[in-house]
Amino acid sequence: MTRPQERLSKPFTITRVFDAPRDLVWQALTQLEHLGRWMSPAGMEPVPGSLDLRVGGVYHYGMKAPNGQIMWGKWTFREIVVPERLVVVINFSDAELGVTRHPMSPTWPLSTLSTTTLTDEGHGTRMSLQWQALDGNDEENVTFDGAHAGMTQGWGYTMDQLARYLARLQ
């Protein structure tokens, strides 16, 4: 759901098919006890957060690094269509739900709009995840597009070429 006067960058998409029914995938995506089981990266300990599943509600989550530092993030629910579509605004955050900048890139967009769509695929479920920079200024959109263009198509080719090039230099 795009709102008037909202600026969105080009989307970046990842798709995955799960061997599980759609209602179960939906639960895993929208319930706190389930989210804690898969959202934290390897080596990061999930920090108990909070979840208020309604439009305008927030999922607040933390990930604790081995050095004890906690990274916070939050999703603000914008659209909830059970069990097929979840639209959230993603922000880096602090422990008090304040919105923060990307820790590594000052020009990473402040807000990312994420749209998750679930569809039946045989006995399983196809999950399509799409991200767009939300209301980014030009510089932020360019950062996002550059990073994602790289992720989706550019890197594969360029990095292969680069690897060959570096091999020749050595």
Partner 1 sequence: MHTDPLSATFAALADPTRRAILARLSTGEATVTELSEPFNITPPAVTKHLKILQRAGLIVQGREKQWRPCRLQPQPLKEAADWVEPYRQLWEQRLDRLEDYLRELQIKRRRK
User: Which token pair is 63?
Assistant: 């990930």
Choose which of 48, 98, 103, 106 interacts with partner 1 (CB under 8 A). 106
Do residues 136 and 112 touch, judged by C-beta distance below 8 A? no
Give the start-end residues of each E strand in the chain: 12-18, 45-51, 58-64, 70-81, 85-93, 99-100, 111-121, 124-134
Question: From the CB of 4, what's the least distance to partner 1, in Å?
Answer: 26
- Decide if residue 32 touches partner 1 (CB under 8 A): no
Give the start-end residues of each E strand in 65-161: 70-81, 85-93, 99-100, 111-121, 124-134
Measured CA to CA, the distance from residue 169 to residue 53 in angstroms comes to 54
- Decide if residue 37 touches partner 1 (CB under 8 A): yes
Closest CA to 62 of 95, 30, 29, 99: 95
CB nearer partner 1, residue 55 or residue 65: 65
> Reduced to 3 states, what is the DSSP secondary structure of residue 83?
coil
CB nearer partner 1, residue 43 or residue 56: 43
Would you give the binding string for partner 1 spanning residues 142-161, x where CB under 8 A is met?
xx-xxx-xxx--xx-xxx-x
Query: Considering CB under 8 A, how many residues would be counted as binding partner 1?
Result: 39
Choose which of 1, 3, 14, 65 interacts with partner 1 (CB under 8 A). 14
- Which positions lie near partner 1, rule CB under 8 A? 14, 16, 18-20, 24-25, 28, 34, 37-39, 41-42, 104-107, 127, 129, 139, 142-143, 145-147, 149-151, 154-155, 157-159, 161-162, 164-166
